[in-house]
Amino acid sequence: MNNFQFHNPTRIVFGEGSADRIGELASSYGKTVLLVYGGGSIKSTGLYERTIKQLKESGITFYELPGIEPNPRLSTVNKGIDICREHGVDFILAVGGGSVIDASKAIAAGALYDGDVWDFFVGKASIQQALPIGTVLTLAATGSEMNGSTVISHWEEKLKRGAGSAHLYPRFSILDPSLTYSVPRNHTVYGSVDIMSHVFEQYFSLTTNTPLQERFCESILQTVIENVEPALANPNDAAARANLMWCGTMALNGGQISLGMQNDWASHGIEHEVSAIYDIPHGAGLAIIFPNWMRYVYKQRPDRFAQYATRVWGIDPAGKSEDELALAGIQATRDFFTRIGAESKLADFGIGDDQLDRMAEEAVRYGAIGSFKRLEKDDVREILRMSL
């Protein structure tokens, strides 16, 4: 186990009915609020009316930025920055999934920065300050509700990049599982794959002597596996939705489950290059790429993959070599993703091999990626080729 520090300042308000505390919480942080939301789901579920009623009752002046895209775009972030500057916004309220929260974080940082907010995403500047934000989460997936990361697409340049800062942690996040009952089937699947992928990025590590961290990881994986199908069978399954929501938050909240461990994040880097060009849902891309990454790298540490197979999937180790167990665990992952309805090939989204070179090149633009196995351009290209 490596040395570590941990500080996560986000206040979590969890549970059914917690969405009735939006006004109370927002008013303790700001008087002039930018309300950020997506393409309309919060209007059809009634959450929009519920939110603005509370903001009005709390005496908050608010402006709105609707229309945050899944894979949120820089151009929309810039619209939000303009509104903040024009109206002296002092707090941002994100109501939606990871895309809405990520856009809100970028707006929060950009509003207090003299240059182009994209500078933060291409390493030209680091975030020194940001407006405070709060979130009302409507989709279990990214963990953005309790971390300091944001991922934004520069659509015109076909780039998707992340930025992070301690200044971007939400001041509070309202996690009301009943808000996720309306999440459609495909996004329930993609969100669950994303949660599992966040755990994989931390669990498949070369760091040794981390038994507690490994078990944190395995417990989240098992809990997601147990709860996805009940949530798909009955979207209003309160227990399943609550468990998925809490798994999503715990899987990526500043690395709490993997403190002292080296993380990988190569598969995320590769997926971001795919969604930068083809605009596919993040979790869908991960469901395709991750099992292929696993096949490509498992020999770095077959013992960890064998442990994954036995502990997470309950595969009987009797009579199997470590490699056989590792491969059985990887196949179980692929089979599970397929069973719940995730795509297995880039071709399922009509993606061919014409941009493989560009995606591989962009993935390693700042150097080799990953730590479990360092991946150069040719390695990334091969994983993408396996994913066709």
Residue ranges that bind ligand NZQ, judged by CB under 6 A:
38-41, 45, 70-71, 96-100, 102, 138-139, 141-144, 147, 149-151, 179-180, 182-184, 187, 191, 194, 252, 268, 282-283
Question: Which two tokens mark 122?
Answer: 């291409």
Q: How far is the CB of 5 from ligand NZQ (least distance, A)?
A: 19
Residue 269's binding partner, choosing from ligand NZQ, Zn ion, none, with beta-carbon cut-off 5 to 8 A by kind?
none
Residue 360's binding partner, choosing from ligand NZQ, Zn ion, none, with beta-carbon cut-off 5 to 8 A by kind?
none
Nearer CB in complex with ligand NZQ: 7/59: 7
Task: Determine the residue with CB nearest Zn ion.
Answer: 194
Residue 134's binding partner, choosing from Zn ion, ligand NZQ, none, with beta-carbon cut-off 5 to 8 A by kind?
none
* β-bridge partners, 174: 13, 136
Question: Which two tokens mark 200?
Answer: 């994989």
Nearer CB in complex with Zn ion: 194/362: 194
Q: How far is the CB of 82 from ligand NZQ (least distance, A)?
A: 21
- Kindly tell me which residue out of 194, 201, 264, 379 binds Zn ion, with binding defined by CB under 5 A: 194
User: Which contacts (CB < 8 Å, 24+ apart) does range 334-343 have?
Assistant: 334/291, 336/225, 337/193, 337/287, 337/291, 340/189, 340/192, 340/228, 340/229, 340/232, 341/185, 341/186, 341/189, 341/232, 342/189, 342/190, 342/193, 342/283, 342/284, 342/287, 342/288, 343/284, 343/287, 343/288
Q: How far is the CB of 269 from Zn ion (least distance, A)?
A: 11
* CB atoms inside a 10 Å sphere around CB 199: 23
**How distant is the alpha carbon of residue 250 from its chain centre?**
11
Residue 182's binding partner, choosing from ligand NZQ, Zn ion, none, with beta-carbon cut-off 5 to 8 A by kind?
ligand NZQ
Q: How far is the CB of 323 from ligand NZQ (least distance, A)?
A: 29
Q: How far is the CB of 137 from ligand NZQ (least distance, A)?
A: 8
Nearer CB in complex with ligand NZQ: 150/165: 150
User: What track of x and - describes contact with Zn ion for positions 146 through 185 (by CB under 5 A)?
Assistant: ----------------------------------------
Nearer CB in complex with ligand NZQ: 115/184: 184
- Coil, strand or helix: which one is 131? coil
How far apart CA 310 and CA 328 sit, in angstroms, is 9
How far apart CA 35 and CA 102 sit, in angstroms, is 13
For residues 93 and 133, the answer to whether their CB atoms sit within 8 Å is yes
Residue 96's binding partner, choosing from Zn ion, ligand NZQ, none, with beta-carbon cut-off 5 to 8 A by kind?
ligand NZQ
The amino acid present at 309, given as its one-letter code, is A
Q: 355: closest CA among 278, 289, 255?
A: 278
Q: Which residues of 348-376 are buried (b: 16+ CB within 10 A; e: fewer)?
A: ebebeeebbeebbebbbeeeebbbbbebe
| Span from 63-71, 123-131, 189-197, 341-349 in contact with Zn ion (CB under 5 A) | 189-197
Q: How far is the CB of 113 from ligand NZQ (least distance, A)?
A: 19
Q: What is the dihedral of CA 200, 206, 208, 214, to 10 degrees?
A: 0
Question: Which two tokens mark 276?
Answer: 């930068």
| Span from 59-67, 191-199, 325-333, 361-369 in contact with Zn ion (CB under 5 A) | 191-199
The amino acid present at 296, given as its one-letter code, is Y
Q: How far is the CB of 177 from ligand NZQ (least distance, A)?
A: 10
Interface with Zn ion (CB under 5 A), residue total 1
Nearer CB in complex with ligand NZQ: 149/205: 149
Nearer CB in complex with ligand NZQ: 145/214: 145
Nearer CB in complex with ligand NZQ: 197/307: 197
Nearer CB in complex with ligand NZQ: 259/309: 259
Q: How far is the CB of 9 from ligand NZQ (least distance, A)?
A: 16
Question: Which two tokens mark 151?
Answer: 């991922």
Q: How far is the CB of 35 from Zn ion (least distance, A)?
A: 25
How far apart CA 149 and CA 95 sit, in angstroms, is 17
* β-bridge partners, 135: 94, 173
Question: Which two tokens mark 66?
Answer: 């609707």
Q: Which residues make up the interface to Zn ion (CB under 5 A)?
A: 194
